[in-house]
Chain A
Amino acid sequence: MTSRLTRRQRRRVSQGIQYAVFVAALILIGFLADWDRLQNQFAQKDLAKELFPDIITIALRNTVVYTMSGFVFGLVLGLIIALMRLSSVAPYRWVASVYIEFFRGLPALLIFIFVGVAVPLAFPGTQIPGGTYGKVALGLGLVAAAYMAETIRAGIQAVPKGQMEAARSLGFSHARAMVSVIIPQALRIVIPPLTNELVLLFKDSSLVLFLGVTLEERELTKFGRDLASQTANSTPILVAGLCYLIVTVPLSLVVRRLEARADKAR
């Protein structure tokens, strides 16, 4: 024993220092920030009240609709790409790999601009069905599919090999075994990571901002930004942000719960 402090003492000192730094940081922020000005800019009660009910009935609703349509489209496409990735036919695997690397490697914003601007310019007269909703579903879905495909592939591979063997030995064809036995189990495995993907999509739906939408089609970010510039005050942005958190935080908690449960079941 060369050290003078015991292990217990050393631990106490280390923790004490960490708390001290934390409290010091809080105090510093409290003094440095201009609270009156912040409140003025971000927390005007009257302004906030005026946002309702439109921020919920139009903006939040649209955000949810955009997210869900992108998620559903992405899930279907992602499942197809995952199956292609696992195919025994090599060209399918190549296509799937290229797709995944391509869309994971590009910023979602670029895809949105491409879908919203480049495609209509390049193919005059083509209409993406569903108007703005269709464009959003396409833009979000194309990107989400790349991530979900990798997640689903991992989920399918996580189903024990014996499940496929049992199904095949009962006379299931490979395809039917996939549909009835493997994929239902794989989806169960990937529910937590897919829910994470949903949270990411929920936020990415803000990219609709760059598509040019009508008043009725505005989602939270666009809505908040428009009203912020109309009122020359940032309160709408803060409220829009809170609207995101109302959805994303519970979702994240659900994911954590599901993951804990999956760990326990293992």
Chain B
Amino acid sequence: MSRKTETVDSMGTDRPEIEIRGLHKSFGDNEVLRGIDLDIARGEVVCVIGPSGSGKSTLLRCVNLLEEPTSGQVFVGGTEVTDLDVDIDAVRRRIGMVFQQFNLFPHLNVTENLTLPQRRVLRRSKARAAAVARENLVRVGLADKADAYPAQLSGGQQQRVAIARALVMGPEVMLFDEPTSALDPELVGEVLSVMRLLAAEGMTMMVVTHEMSFAREVADRVVFMDGGVIVEHGPAAQVVGDPQHERTRNFLMRILDPASTEAPVEDAGVDVRKPVDGSSEG
């Protein structure tokens, strides 16, 4: 049924690894993405930030078609993901994804989590799959947990296994959907350092995150989204350090100053904190 339509230049040209063109996505009447255009070059690390409900996770999920865009195009490595005739399973093999909730397979141990997709999807031999699994467990620093079950691991360890599981498929691109948001604060660091390692190895990464320090340090570019559009994007230092837009400034102020994020705006009046400012955007 499925036919793979590969555009000519999948290697070595200056075509971006990820190209997003005029992307719209609605859930019923709710228009979550209102026209997104974004290019991500090979080896680039792009962090997508923005308030909840801004559409950043939906954007990420459109890249590997976990959400079907309402209109617009997405290309990954030159292949049009949004083409109805494309073999989406083949495309997804080249796109690793890491979820907020880890989504490890709880009925399998760590090694089996890493070998199952290799065996079933890539048809690798048992020995080869095991070798690749071991290799990637070492990469995320969990070689000693090969026989553990997900429930026996901490959140940070589970997320590192989830990263390793994505890596065993040899992806060209890695998508991270708030990879540290479900973690206790003391476990965030170990996951971020694995991601830093990947970035240093030259992996193309698209990261939806609230970790501003990670964005500032690791990202080549930061994209700020709000209300389903890209409000501002540019070098990390610029967007995070010297935002040009009011909405970006408000968001960063809220996220960097925890005191102002604790009470939502609707809890009017009871708070002693002074109002941030008069704007009511968002």
**Residue ranges of A at the interface with B (Cβ–Cβ < 8 Å):** 160, 162-163, 165-173, 176, 180-181, 184-185, 188, 265
Contact = CB atoms under 8 A, between A and B. Distances in A.
A240 to B, nearest CB: 40
Nearest to B95: A169
Contacts of A168: 66, 89, 92
Interface of B: 64, 66, 89-90, 92-93, 95-97, 99, 101, 103-107, 116-117, 120-122, 151, 162, 165-166, 169
Contacts of A171: 89-90, 92-93, 117, 121-122, 169
In the complex, the 4 A-B pairs of residues with the closest C-beta atoms, listed nearest first: A166-B103, A171-B93, A169-B97, A162-B103
Given A162-B101, A170-B117, A172-B89, A188 B107 contact: yes
Secondary structure type dominating chain A contacts? helix
Interface centre among B66, B90, B96, B121 (most CB of A within 10 A): B121
Nearest to B117: A170
B103 A170 contact: no
A200 B162 CA distance: 42
Residue among A160, A171, A173, A184 with max Cβ neighbours from chain B (10 Å): A171
Contacts, number: 60
A264 B46 CA distance: 41
Contact of B103 (A163, A173, A176, A188): A163
Most buried by B among A170, A184, A185: A170
A169 B106 CA distance: 17
Given A165-B66, A165-B99, A171-B121, A184 B90 contact: no
Nearest to B66: A165
20 contacts: A162-B99, A165-B103, A166-B99, A166-B103, A166-B105, A167-B117, A168-B89, A168-B92, A169-B92, A169-B95, A170-B92, A170-B93, A170-B117, A171-B90, A171-B121, A180-B120, A181-B105, A184-B107, A185-B106, A185-B107
Contacts of A169: 64, 66, 92, 95-97, 166
A166 B116 CA distance: 12
Nearest to B104: A166
B69 to A, nearest CB: 16
A227 to B, nearest CB: 47
Given A160-B101, A166-B104, 6 more contacts: A160-B103, A166-B99, A166-B105, A168-B92, A172-B117, A181-B105
B148 to A, nearest CB: 16
A134 B274 CA distance: 79
